[in-house]
Amino acid sequence: MIRFFNTYSRALEEFAPRDPPNVSIYTCGPTVYSHAHIGNFRAYIFEDLLQRHLEARGFKVHRVMNITDVDDKTIRGARAAKVSLNDFTDPFKRGFFEDLETLRIKRADEYPGATEPRYLTRMIEMISELIKRDLAYQAEDKSVYFRIKKFPDYGKLAHLNLEELRPTGRVRNDEYEKENIGDFALWKAWDEADGDVGWDSPWGRGRPGWHIECSAMATSLLGDQIDIHCGGVDNIFPHHEAEIAQSEGVTGKKFVRYWMHCAHLLVDNQKMSKSLGNFYTLRDVTAKGYSGREVRYALLRVHYRVQLNFTFEGMEESRQALMRVDEWLQRLRETSSSTLPGKEPGPVPTDDFQSALDDDLNISGALGVLFEAIRETNRAMDANELGADGAKAWLQWWEEINQVLALEARESMASPPEIETLTEARRLARLANDWQKSDELRRELNARGWEVRDTKDGQKITRRVGIKP
């Protein structure tokens, strides 16, 4: 049984999609006014784990991730750079897709952009419908707002008391036109700061609010009811609360079955965010010599609902962990092609990795299963208790779990000529019992980024993960 923690009910619930084996997932994507930071990628890696695990369990996932290419920040950026909105956001969009690839995040099936005409049409349609149902109104400032007091479920996702949203006397001046301080904009009337960004609508020239963008793209591509909607916890309120109000206000149907939110990535115990200026982009981290899969591991290894503090010590731990995996795989490959039959069956693979993930994506449990397997099989190989067939079974097991983890080294194991020369020199030194020379050559190989292991079949060398030769 697969169980997920549903933010809506604040409880673990058995996962039952509307139309199995199909599963629809909507993810709030990046606002493309700068490069995404690794906090954002924690959210996308959690969603990637979710998709990959569901697929490993036989579900067919249809995932949509929107690209927010019009909002206050993108407009401000384009005006400051004196280029069109499109020219401004385009390089960040491209950078985002490159980063997804570096982190081995599966591509969504669709990446709708809020400014595409079909979605703008849908937004205008939805807003008109909300006005018709008295759930929205145009205020004196010409903007259109959602009337939260007419939607009794408003506040249920965030477990908010509507009384708390009453005006406090400290109302910002751009909000005094609204009937209620909690009413949020569906359509923002054009003002000077918008420059040449704007679209015509029944309410005059303007642009959509951020929340309606997601409701329109999600329902256009996935229908009125979707299985899973995800994001980071900062999306819960007001963004996702507003998405529910808008979508259900129009369709009258339950919008989302399971709301899943990941906790934040922190730096020095504060949320990593652009506004605090305490963020690293993926490029900042890879420039320090870490590979994409090391960053992936570092962001993946902690349960998604637990806050994760980003440190470079954590990056080193990730490098070490992956090195253990690489060495283990190399050893298994050697064993699988040896002719030595195992004297005993040795440890055998189980389904425990997948079962751990069934439990609300318990990744720490799943990685615990992997590292326990590494310990056990290494011990069995040390004792010559794992034969070629046993090693093959473990490699097969790894293939399966790597479909979910996507952590295997892609670097070629072939070594360049100077490394071959050093390895050969070390072999000769060892034949001559010159242990001092052998140690010197090992240090030389280490310094060039290679690990050496002496086995009964001679030296085995592996590239140290993340270090460029």
462 contact choice in ligand AMP, Zn ion, none (CB below 5 to 8 Å, kind-dependent): none
Q: Does position 234 bind ligand AMP by CB under 6 A? A: yes
Distance CA 338, CA 391 (A): 10
The tokens describing 398, both together, are: 């790894």
Shortest spacing between CB 416 and ligand AMP, in angstroms: 39
Distance CA 94, CA 283 (A): 14
Q: Does position 214 bind Zn ion by CB under 5 A? A: yes
Helix/strand/coil (H/E/C) assignment for every residue in the chain: CCEEEECCCCEEEECCCCECCEEEEEECCCECCCCCEHHHHHHHHHHHHHHHHHHHCCCEEEEEECEECCCHHHHHHHHHHCCCHHHHHHHHHHHHHHHHHHCCCCCCCECCECCCHHHHHHHHHHHHHHHHCCCEEECCCCCEEECHHHCCCCCCCCCCCHHHHCCCCCCCHHHCCCCCCCCCEEEEECCHHHCCCCECCCCCCEEECHHHHHHHHHHHHHCCCEEEEEEEHHHHHHHHHHHHHHHHHHHCCCCEEEEEEECCEEECCEECCCCCCCCCEHHHHHCCCCCHHHHHHHHHCCCCCCCEECCHHHHHHHHHHHHHHHHHHHHHHHHHCCCCCCCCCCCCCCCHHHHHHHECCCHHHHHHHHHHHHHHHHHHHHCCCCCHHHHHHHHHHHHHHHHHHCCCCCCCCCCCHHHHHHHHHHHHHHHCCCHHHHHHHHHHHHHCCEEEEEECCEEEEEECCCCCC
Among 95, 232, 238, 390, binds ligand AMP (CB under 6 A): 232
265 contact choice in ligand AMP, Zn ion, none (CB below 5 to 8 Å, kind-dependent): ligand AMP
369 contact choice in Zn ion, ligand AMP, none (CB below 5 to 8 Å, kind-dependent): none
Shortest spacing between CB 329 and ligand AMP, in angstroms: 30
Tell me whether residue 67 or residue 214 sits nearer to Zn ion (CB atom).
214
Phi–psi pair at 92, nearest 5 degrees: -75, -35
Among 2, 28, 245, 461, binds Zn ion (CB under 5 A): 28
Residue with the closest Cβ to ligand AMP?
Answer: 232
Number of residues near Zn ion (by CB under 5 A): 2
Shortest spacing between CB 105 and ligand AMP, in angstroms: 13
Contact window for Zn ion (CB under 5 A) among 25-33, 146-154, 311-319, 422-430: 25-33
Residues 20-39 binding ligand AMP (CB under 6 A) are 28, 30-31, 39
Distance CA 344, CA 359 (A): 33
Tell me whether residue 364 or residue 403 sits nearer to ligand AMP (CB atom).
364
Contact window for ligand AMP (CB under 6 A) among 173-181, 250-258, 267-275, 374-382: 267-275
Contact window for ligand AMP (CB under 6 A) among 264-272, 311-319, 346-354, 358-366: 264-272
189 contact choice in Zn ion, ligand AMP, none (CB below 5 to 8 Å, kind-dependent): none
Shortest spacing between CB 22 and ligand AMP, in angstroms: 23
214 contact choice in ligand AMP, Zn ion, none (CB below 5 to 8 Å, kind-dependent): Zn ion
Shortest spacing between CB 133 and ligand AMP, in angstroms: 28
Contact window for Zn ion (CB under 5 A) among 69-77, 206-214, 363-371, 380-388: 206-214
Contact window for ligand AMP (CB under 6 A) among 74-82, 269-277, 284-292, 314-322: 269-277
Tell me whether residue 28 or residue 405 sits nearer to Zn ion (CB atom).
28
Tell me whether residue 103 or residue 272 sits nearer to ligand AMP (CB atom).
272
Tell me whether residue 191 or residue 234 sits nearer to ligand AMP (CB atom).
234
264 contact choice in Zn ion, ligand AMP, none (CB below 5 to 8 Å, kind-dependent): ligand AMP
Among 6, 7, 40, 66, binds ligand AMP (CB under 6 A): 40
Of 113, 89, 100, 86, the closest CA to residue 32 belongs to: 89
Q: Which parts of this chain interact with ligand AMP (CB under 6 A)?
A: 28, 30-31, 39-40, 42-43, 231-232, 234-235, 262, 264-265, 271-273
Q: Which parts of this chain interact with Zn ion (CB under 5 A)?
A: 28, 214
